[in-house]
């Protein structure tokens, strides 16, 4: 069942984008909540788990994950953390956006079958991302067929990452912890970017701050119980 949840989250985001025209205010709060949740899960659960392997290269692969996400965002224009500044010409399939989002989704799905708390965090994060991406696609001249193909392929990337981990777990050996370290780097970058992006005119946004605290708090509570 857990393999289907990311797919449901993507299409839930699509239907929200389809039905709700003005959602930017609430979307920012949901993104802040998801950033807090993801950061808490990453720091409290994933980091301690990968360092149990006592592998000297873990820190390097965390850095690789951060750099990789920076490169992916060059092509996705920041869709993973709430911003799409993507120039779409005509009805051409947005291939660079699709590839960058798919690589990100594939890696974040890799450890989810062993970490239910991470799965929840990714679902919470994937809904606002799906809303943002869907809103962008709906604003373009992309045909309905291409739009649906984009969403279907994008939605299966996280379950695909989980399946690869499940099927090849015995064969991966020490590579498994390296891939998980890359995922940690990706999530640290995404979560910190969401949390530390400045508000308009660099003003303190108490609503965003509260959303972040609630996200962190709920993540810690559900991990404890």
| Interatomic CA distance for residues 61 and 175, integer angstroms | 11
Burial of 71 from C-beta contacts in 10 A (0-12 / 13-18 / 19+): exposed
In the chain, where the domains are located: 5-16+23-224
The mean pLDDT of the chain is: 86
Does residue 155 have a pLDDT over 80? yes
Start-end of H helices in the chain: 5-19, 24-41, 47-51, 58-76, 95-109, 116-138, 144-172, 175-196, 206-224
pLDDT of residue 86: 57
pLDDT of residue 115: 83
Specify the residue for token string 């799409």. 84
- What tens digit of pLDDT does each residue of 159-203 get? 999 999 989 888 777 788 999 999 999 999 998 888 876 455 555
DSSP state of 45: I
CB 6 within 8 A of CB 123: yes
Does 207 or 185 have the greater pLDDT score? Answer: 185
Q: Which of 14-23, 43-52, 181-190, 192-201 has the highest mean pLDDT?
A: 181-190
Its pTM stands at: 0.89
């Amino acid at each position: 069942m857990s393999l289907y949840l990311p797919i449901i989250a993507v299409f839930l985001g699509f239907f929200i984008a389809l039905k709700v025209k003005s959602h930017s205010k609430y979307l920012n709060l949901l993104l802040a909540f998801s950033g807090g949740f993801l950061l808490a899960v990453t720091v409290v659960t994933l980091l301690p788990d990968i360092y149990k392997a006592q592998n000297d290269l873990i820190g390097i692969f965390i850095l690789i994950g951060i750099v990789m996400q920076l490169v992916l965002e060059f092509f996705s224009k920041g869709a993973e953390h709430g911003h799409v500044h993507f120039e779409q010409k005509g009805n051409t399939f947005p291939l660079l956006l699709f590839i960058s989002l798919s690589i990100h989704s594939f890696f974040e799905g890799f450890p989810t079958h062993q970490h239910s708390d991470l799965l929840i965090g990714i679902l919470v994060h994937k809904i606002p991302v799906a809303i943002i991406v869907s809103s962008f696609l709906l604003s373009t001249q992309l045909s309905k067929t291409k739009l649906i193909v984009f969403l279907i392929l994008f939605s299966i990337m996280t379950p695909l990452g989980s399946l690869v981990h499940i099927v090849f777990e015995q064969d991966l050996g020490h590579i498994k912890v390296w891939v998980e370290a890359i995922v940690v780097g990706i999530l640290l970058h995404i979560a910190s970017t969401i949390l530390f992006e400045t508000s308009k005119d660099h003003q303190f946004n108490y609503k965003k701050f509260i959303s972040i605290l609630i996200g962190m708090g709920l993540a810690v509570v559900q991990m404890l119980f």
